[in-house]
Amino acid sequence: MASLQSSAISFSSSLGRFSTTRTMLPQKPRNYKLPVVESKIREIFMPALSSTMTEGKIVSWVKSEGDVLSKGESVVVVESDKADMDVETFYDGILAVIVVNEGETALVGAPIGLLAETEDEIVEAIAKAKGQSGGSSSGSESTPEPQSAVGVSDEPKKIVATPNAKKLAKQHKIDINKVNGTGPFGRITSEDVEKAAGITPAPSKSISPPPPAAAPAVGTPAKAAPVSLPEIPGSTVVPFTTMQVAVSKNMVESLSVPTFRVGYPVITDALDALYLKVKKKGVTMTALLAKAAAMALAQHPVVNSSCKDGKSFTYNSSINIAVAVAINGGLITPVLQDADKLDLYLLSQKWKELVEKARAKQLQPHEYNSGTFTLSNLGMFGVDRFDAILPPGQGAIMAVGASKPTPVANADGFFSVKNKMLVNVTADHRVVYGADLAAFLQTFSKIIENPDSLTM
């Protein structure tokens, strides 16, 4: 005990006779910083349920404020541009605040609810939600308050950026994690990335004022035209649904693609006879046409290709036939993947499952956005011919009309009545040329007129 109470400690080195004596001086007490226990209030973000989704609509909240949630449990149903999907929570906790109510929309990446870890943090979460809503409503786009509101997050800050902003960041090799977002809730916009890259959009504004007279000749009045349209008394304005917004956006994008159209008559007597045989086994005419188109595409891969950058072909290794289906409030194209490899009966079964999921708005993204060629059939409505609009990201779309009895002359000049349908194909002229499309239609016609290969 005496040695322990001594004010000096001596020790010797084993390398020599050397001893050192050090006096223990009284030390000042150290100020230890106690770890700060921060509350874990997590944000439930609007997810990107598809590659084209920019905003989502809350269909219904499965859980209510105050409910205890477990990781992986469904919290809310979101209407994307193509389907209604359940959104799960990634954490355990309590649903403290619902930020976006049912029927309202929010941008992808924006908080739609707050998750508290304990009951004591619910009050703080409510205050945080009020701060976010107050900052976003009072301060429009230029106010930086929403950024500080998002900064209350529990763990490393989640980078929220628009799809176009992410694309620009890759193009200009900008680290998006270092870009300050000026959008709602700190969202990074295209302008933020351009500013970080040193690109100033100011010149575009200074160029337009000098030639006001030349503006009409350029074709810009299309933007101002809707403003001058007179209102019709008694009319009712109904906003687009999320799906209709997506369809509208895709149709406008398709206008930038140089397309051309080729029509072709096809004799369907043999196909009609085959359909009568396989109809009892659950095979649909849509499955027959999709199978025939897939077999023809296998021989003409250029028609199954696409042009995504304006500079190159994209040859798709799979033949995925998207088929247009009208559903309540919109249009969707379920995809029959690898249609050339599936037998006719399995293809029909798969198609029935896709249609049921489409009408219930339960399709998964890969079941409607992976098409390489689209088929649109209005023959069941008696339409003899029509033109289809090319979907973005594909090389061609086929419009199928009704099969009707038609007088047909053979090589000897004798007439007979046969069932004939007209098909029109709209194609991207950057990758598909007239000769390519004509050859494809000839192959398609031969398969339809001799359909035995469809059942093999």
Residue 141, φ and ψ in degrees, nearest 5: -85, -30
Q: Give the model's pLDDT for residue 158.
A: 56
Q: List pLDDT tens digits, range 156-208.
A: 455 667 777 777 787 777 888 888 877 765 778 878 887 887 776 544 444 44
Stretch among 8-12, 22-26, 295-299, 353-357 having the lowest mean pLDDT? 8-12
Whether the pLDDT of residue 291 is over 70: the answer is yes
Average pLDDT score, the chain: 78
pLDDT band at 53 (very low <50, low <70, confident <90, very high): confident
Whether the pLDDT of residue 396 is over 90: the answer is yes
Whether the pLDDT of residue 7 is over 50: the answer is no
pLDDT band at 81 (very low <50, low <70, confident <90, very high): low
- For the chain, give the percent of residues with pLDDT over 70: 77
Query: Are the C-beta atoms of 431 and 454 separated by less than 8 Å?
Result: no
Rg, the chain, Cα only:
32
Query: Are the C-beta atoms of 335 and 391 separated by less than 8 Å?
Result: no
Q: List pLDDT tens digits, range 229-271.
A: 788 888 888 888 777 887 888 888 888 899 999 999 999 999 9
Stretch among 51-65, 211-225, 272-286, 401-415 having the lowest mean pLDDT? 211-225
CB atoms within 10 A of CB 361: 20
Choosing from 172, 300, 366, 429, the catalytic residue is 429
* CA dist 273 → 228, 267, 276, 278, 451 (Å): 56, 12, 5, 9, 10
Q: List pLDDT tens digits, range 90-140.
A: 888 888 888 888 888 888 888 888 888 777 777 777 777 776 655 444 433
Strands, DSSP E only, in 80-145? 84-88, 93-98, 105-107, 111-116
Q: Give the model's pLDDT for residue 193.
A: 81
206 versus 333: which is more confidently predicted? 333
Residue 206, φ and ψ in degrees, nearest 5: -80, -20
Q: Give the model's pLDDT for residue 424.
A: 96
429 is catalytic: yes
Mean pLDDT, range 393-401, rounded to an integer: 95
Q: Which of 168, 173, 205, 158 is nearest to 190 (CA)?
A: 168
Stretch among 72-76, 336-340, 398-402 having the lowest mean pLDDT? 72-76
Output DSSP code: residue 65: T
Q: Give the model's pLDDT for residue 378.
A: 93
Mean pLDDT, range 375-401, rounded to an integer: 93
Whether the pLDDT of residue 148 is over 50: the answer is no
Highest mean pLDDT among 9-18, 196-205, 419-428: 419-428
Q: Give the model's pLDDT for residue 170.
A: 79
Q: Give the model's pLDDT for residue 298.
A: 96
Say how many CA atoms lie within 13 Å of 100 toward its Cβ. Answer: 25
Q: Give the model's pLDDT for residue 142.
A: 39
Mean pLDDT, range 50-76, rounded to an integer: 82
195 versus 273: which is more confidently predicted? 273
Q: Give the model's pLDDT for residue 265.
A: 95
Q: How far apart are CA 431 and CA 97, in angstroms?
A: 51
Amino acid at 140: S
Q: Give the model's pLDDT for residue 430.
A: 94
Whether the pLDDT of residue 210 is over 60: the answer is no
pLDDT band at 226 (very low <50, low <70, confident <90, very high): low
11 versus 434: which is more confidently predicted? 434
CB atoms within 10 A of CB 100: 20
pLDDT band at 152 (very low <50, low <70, confident <90, very high): very low
Stretch among 171-185, 332-346, 416-430, 436-450 having the lowest mean pLDDT? 171-185
pLDDT band at 228 (very low <50, low <70, confident <90, very high): low
